[in-house]
Amino acid sequence: MIGVTVFLATAALLAGYGITLYNGLVRARNEVKLTWSNIDVLLAQRHDELPKLVDVCKRYMQHEQQTLDQVTQARAGVDAARSANNVAAVSHAEGALRTGLANLYAVAERYPDLKANEMFRTLQGRISAIETAIADRREMYNDAVNTLNVRIETFPDTLIAGMCHFQAASMLKFDSAQTADVDLGLAFAR
């Protein structure tokens, strides 16, 4: 009788421990989803602001269609990657968009009337603020991904993660060329 009681108590403790591990993994996975959702909201906001910026610029930059097209195409690339929830593709598309925006801002320097335009300055400020927020959220996302991935790979969580088919998440990374300071000298040379 005592042996059965000890067995049942041990089984109950192990089951409780397994449930605790499972719930922790679920929380970690949901934190990754939440932080990605926060980035997605910011990407959507920027997606909505960019056409307004391009439209304002078109009024002044009749001879800069290539620069405007570059931003428009990069925006479409980010949106397609975001819609597909493809973190790696978002990372790549973000680099193209960042380059396009840097070129657009550099070309805008040649147009004093554009630089003085209140709508242009407002949109440029809002997009810059969104860019900063995306960088902050990216750091939070990568922290959440790291937490989940470490839990999935460490014992004893790895046992529960394997049985319940938890998948590692991908970090949101940018190439060193994408995070380097933009060479405005090259952009102005165009």
Mean pLDDT, the chain, integer: 85
* Per-domain residue ranges of the chain: 14-188
Query: Is the CB of residue 57 less than 8 Å from the CB of residue 68?
Result: yes
1 contacts: CB under 8 Å, gap ≥ 6: none
pLDDT average, residue stretch 105-131: 85
Cβ count near 147 (within 10 Å): 17
Closest to 59 (Cα-Cα) out of 142, 128, 139, 116: 116
**pLDDT tens digit sequence for 48-97:** 998 888 888 887 776 678 888 888 899 999 989 888 888 888 888 888 88
For 14-188, CATH number out of 3.40.50.1100, 3.40.50.720, 1.10.1200.10, 1.20.1440.20 equals 1.20.1440.20
pLDDT confidence tier of residue 161, bands split at 50, 70 and 90:
very high
Cβ count near 64 (within 10 Å): 19
pLDDT at 183 over 90: no
**pLDDT tens digit sequence for 2-60:** 888 989 999 999 999 999 999 999 999 999 999 999 999 999 999 899 888 888 888 77
